[in-house]
Amino acid sequence: MNKPSKKYPHMGANNRPLPAYNNLEFINSPDARLIRVMCEFLEPMRRFRKMAVRDTIVFFGSARTLTPEVAKKNYKDLQQKIRKQKNPPRALLQQLESAKIQLDTSKYYEDAVQLAYLLTRWSKTLSDGKRFLICSGGGPGIMEAANRGAKKAGGPSLGFNITLPHEQAPNPYISPELSFDFHYFFVRKFWFAYLAKALIIFPGGYGTLDEFFEMITLIQTRKIEKALPIIIYGTEYWKEVINFDTMLRNQMISPEDLKLIQFADTPEFAFDFLKKELTKHYL
């Protein structure tokens, strides 16, 4: 093999110029950015065709949501630690308060697992068992819960990871052949939107809000023309974070815009709604 020279990256060790596509110094340079972008479009597309992936149900939500088991253990450990002290420091009490919040929100992890399980079990009863595959952002929290639910039901699922300064490793429940690691956010967003036939928005922060508003804007402006039902999961959380009624009252959105979303608080309700909508529009 003509390995690159240490002194001249474009030359091989045998003093012969490398083909441009083997010149990693060039491939990773700003000049080759368009090539790298195209790779993140073409390589996933090739795998989707090979695996007969036609469409997905996308789960968005916080990467910080803990499993009920971990959240409960953290809370109990802190309780025991505080009981052993006559005058526990304020910092420790604040940790307990934070752990209680994490314990309360861990219900969303459990619900995401169950909803993904129900959807995957239903998907497997369809003609080829490759419709409406669960897709997540590939990381921990709600993303992990979605992939975990699909695996629990014995079905494949996708994970669209993203390269970040603080490493985010793919969660262990993604189907290996459908695990991706994107560098460019906009290409990752394209694949979320292009394959999606439904969205489920669990409680989350900036990233979740970004994905939700971007997708619903594309739907509202009809840049996305396909039917794309959206579940907003966790009514109490989302109505405190986003005051849709205020937006409507001030005529910043129309009554029709509110019909683009459906609130849900149980996996069973969300599943029944999505099954009905997907059957009506795609089956």
Q: Looking at residue 5, what is its pLDDT? A: 57
> For residue range 49-105, what is the model confidence (pLDDT) as tens digits?
999 999 999 999 999 999 999 999 999 999 999 988 888 888 999 999 999 999 999
Domain boundaries, the chain: 53-67+107-282
Q: What pLDDT is recorded for position 167? A: 63
| Measured distance CA(130)–CA(229) in Å, rounded | 19
| Whether the predicted pLDDT of 253 surpasses 90 | yes
Three-state SS string across the chain, please?
A: CCCECCCCCCEECCCCECCHHHCHHHHCCHHHHHHHHHHHHHHHHHHHHHCCCCCEEEEECCCCCCCHHHHHHHHHHHHHHHHCCCCCCHHHHHHHHHHHHHHHHHHHHHHHHHHHHHHHHHHCCCCCCCCCEEEECCCCCHHHHHHHHHHHCCCCEEEEEECCCCCCCCCCCCCHHHEEEECCHHHHHHHHHHHEEEEEECCCCHHHHHHHHHHHHHHHCCCCCCCCCEEEECHHHHHHHCCHHHHHHCCCCCHHHHCCEEEECCHHHHHHHHHHHHHHHHC
> In which band, very low, low, confident or very high, does the pLDDT at 23 lie, cut at 50, 70 and 90?
confident
**Average pLDDT of the segment spanning 25-30:** 92
More confident residue, 169 or 137: 137
CA proximity to 231, closest of 257, 204, 265, 255 = 265
Rounded mean pLDDT, 162-174: 86
> Averaged over 260-282, what is the pLDDT?
97
- The Cα diameter of the chain in Å comes to 75
Percentage of residues in the chain having pLDDT higher than 70: 95
CATH number for the region 53-67+107-282 comes to 3.40.50.450
DSSP-assigned beta bridge partners for residue 261: 230
- Alpha-carbon span 39 to 41, nearest angstrom: 5
Comparing CA positions, the residue from 128, 148, 130 lying closest to residue 138 is 148
Whether 12 has a pLDDT exceeding 80, the answer reads: no
Q: What is the pLDDT of residues 182-216, one digit of tens each?
A: 999 999 999 999 999 999 999 999 999 999 999 99
Could you give the CA distance from residue 243 to residue 239 in angstroms, rounded to a whole number? 6
CA distances from 118 to 11, 132, 167, 170, 251 (A): 55, 12, 31, 23, 38
Q: How far apart are CA 243 and CA 252, in angstroms?
A: 12
